[in-house]
Amino acid sequence: MELSWPLLLLLAMMIATAWFWHDSLAARESANTAALETCRSTGASLLDGTVAFRRLETVRAGGPVQLRRTYVFDYTRDGVTRQQGFVVLTGRSVDSVGL
């Protein structure tokens, strides 16, 4: 059986989409863990129990091109005021967490 170019292109796109989906789930889990640990260490409470995706960009910092993802989350320190924090990841490593 001979594979045509359109079929090979479709297969490559499906594989790339599956990889991106899997990588995004792992990055979100890392961001969620970082937000939870930061809230616990500062005495804040993570509201809604999760982070939300905000931005995706490509960056190159002296190495290969990587994806930089920004996630946001809501937290409270006093139980009344809702504030927004952020987590920035490059690849799967956490760059910064802000409250």
- Burial string for 24-62 (b: 16+ CB within 10 Å, else e) reads eeebbebbbebbbebbeeeebebeeeebeeeeeeeeeee
Domain borders along the chain are: 5-98
What is the per-residue pLDDT for 1?
59
Beta bridge partners of 53: 71
Q: How far apart are CA 82 and CA 70, in angstroms?
A: 19
Average pLDDT over the chain reads 93
State residue 79's pLDDT score. Answer: 87
pLDDT digits (tens, 9 = 90+) for 24-66: 999 999 999 999 999 999 999 999 999 999 999 999 877 899 9
Burial class of 69 by CB neighbour count within 10 A (0 to 12, 13 to 18, 19+): buried
What percentage of the chain reaches a pLDDT higher than 70?
Answer: 99
Residue owning tokens 């991106």: 20
